[in-house]
Amino acid sequence: MEKYAPEELAESFVFKSELTLAQKTEADKQLNDFLKESRKSITPEERLYARVLQLKFLIEDYIKSPEYNEKLSFAHFLREYINVSYNVNKDFANDIDIKETELSQLLNNHRNPSDKIIIRLEVHSNNIIPAVSWSRLVEKEKEYEIANDQSLRARESKHVKKLNLNLSK
């Protein structure tokens, strides 16, 4: 079997553009016009579905990433989710049957979501964003907090009276 250089392989699969600058500009304009027209035909339901799906993928990508980003909290993604289809937080709170104050506490990181909230978010998204994804956002925050909160370690170490010396590293 013959071996081909990477350049030869690329040339056999990639078609080089022979367009002039004017032709390329015209092609770009035609593509933009086509995209504009096709966007007009998207129904509000399709647009909502696409935005919720996009948010789902953002959540999943963040959960899978090894880095922790303080800005990408449960509250951040909840706020984004609400912004997809609501202008008023009160309406969203009403739709998932929680008090506005509870929603406010969630959005401002003053409270972690209960299992009931996480399940309601899954149901509200028509199961597009699973409860497990919402839960993993909370877990990621908790893992980071436990691993990095030195003041908590110092406070809790005071409650340990005797170390288990039988354990070796």
Exposed / middle / buried, residue 56 (Cβ in 10 Å: 0-12, 13-18, 19+): middle
CB 133 within 8 A of CB 56: yes
Global confidence as pTM: 0.73
Q: Which helix (H) or strand (E) holds 55?
A: helix 44-64
59-101: pLDDT as tens digits: 999 999 999 999 999 999 999 999 998 989 999 999 999 999 9
Torsion (CA) 100, 105, 106, 108 in degrees, nearest 10: 120
**Taking 70 as the threshold, does the pLDDT of residue 1 lie above it?**
no
**CA-to-CA dists, residue 38 to 28, 33, 45, 50, 85, angstroms:** 15, 9, 15, 14, 22
The number of residues making up the chain comes to 169
Residue whose C-alpha is closest to residue 89's, from 103, 76, 102:
103
Side-chain-side CA neighbours of 14 within 13 Å: the count stands at 8
- The C-alpha atoms of residue 102 and residue 82 are separated, in whole angstroms, by 14
Q: Which helix (H) or strand (E) holds 155?
A: helix 150-157
**Average pLDDT of the chain?**
90
Residue holding tokens 């739709």?
95
pLDDT for residue 33: 86
**Domains of the chain, earliest start first:** 44-156 (1.10.260)
